[in-house]
Amino acid sequence: MKMKGETLVILNFKTYMESTGLNALKLAQASEEVADETGITIAVAPQAADLWKITEEVDIPVFSQHIDAIEAGGHTGRILLESVHQAGAKGTLINHSEQRMELADIDMVVQKSSKVDMTSVVCTNNVDTSAAAATLKPDFVAIEPPELIGSGIPVSQAEPEVVEGTVQVIHDINPKVGVLCGAGISTGDDMKAALKLGAEGVLLASGIILAPNPKEALMGLVSKL
């Protein structure tokens, strides 16, 4: 499941109580309703323990938040690709700012994802790391300046040059790699600005999850497309 070429929204559930357990299921169902009503591809990335339940209940793509660079065997507490794949995950975030990985490990998870047709989204923090990530041939690089994560200040408006620089460098290195941007994104204007800068979509969390009405917030996010 590659998804490149579509406008893509990935809602990262992180570990907020508002997006944990039963709340995760409700948020995934609300995301599915918005996807059905608008035709926009919305993927959700719940915690590993919530994955199986959510993939059984909704038809939108469900992603893992992280996969460890391991093969099956003795690795207590880690996340095995084969496990999330069998739980129905269609893709995974890799190297999120809150779960950084070594370069060789990122490479291993990108390659393992590709073998089972799971969409790989490698998160980066600046133009140089985006360039490095693109050489590993993931499906997407998601540029997220860490200082803006959870800030409510949208990267597409606060640091447009980082998004544009990432789009440019990835286009030069491997135009098959899609670019997403994230950090502080919450409104339709933020999303519109991201696409105008050349991103194919957004990766976001708090602006939707912590909104008084997440479905309404998600509707607002895609309202200007």
**Active site residue ranges:** 96, 144
Contacts with ligand G3P by CB under 6 A: the residue count is 15
SS in 3 state form for 179-192?
A: EEEECCCCCHHHHH
Pattern 125-154, binding to ligand G3P, x per CB under 6 A? -------------------x----xx----
Please state, in angstroms and rounded to a whole number, the distance separating the CA atoms of residues 210 and 151.
Answer: 12
Using the rule CB under 6 A, give the single segment among 56-64, 110-118, 168-176, 177-185 that binds ligand G3P.
177-185
Please state, in angstroms and rounded to a whole number, the distance separating the CA atoms of residues 31 and 85.
Answer: 21
E-assigned strand segments in the chain:
8-12, 41-45, 63-64, 91-94, 119-124, 140-143, 178-182, 201-204
Task: Please return the burial class of 83, using the count of CB atoms within 10 Å of its CB with bins 0-12, 13-18 and 19+.
Answer: middle
Q: Bridge partners of 43?
A: 10
Pattern 75-114, binding to ligand G3P, x per CB under 6 A? ---------------------xx-----------------
Q: Does residue number 207 form part of the binding site for ligand G3P (CB under 6 A)?
A: yes
Give the number of C-alpha atoms closer than 13 A to the C-alpha of residue 186, restricted to the C-beta side. 19
Using the rule CB under 6 A, give the single segment among 32-40, 125-133, 161-169, 180-188 that binds ligand G3P.
180-188
Q: Does residue number 218 form part of the binding site for ligand G3P (CB under 6 A)?
A: no
**Shortest Å, Cβ 104 to ligand G3P:** 23
- Which CB atom, from 82 or from 138, has the smaller least distance to ligand G3P? 138
Q: Which residue has the tokens 């950084």?
A: 100
Q: Which residues bind ligand G3P (CB under 6 A)?
A: 12, 96-97, 144, 149-150, 182-185, 203-207
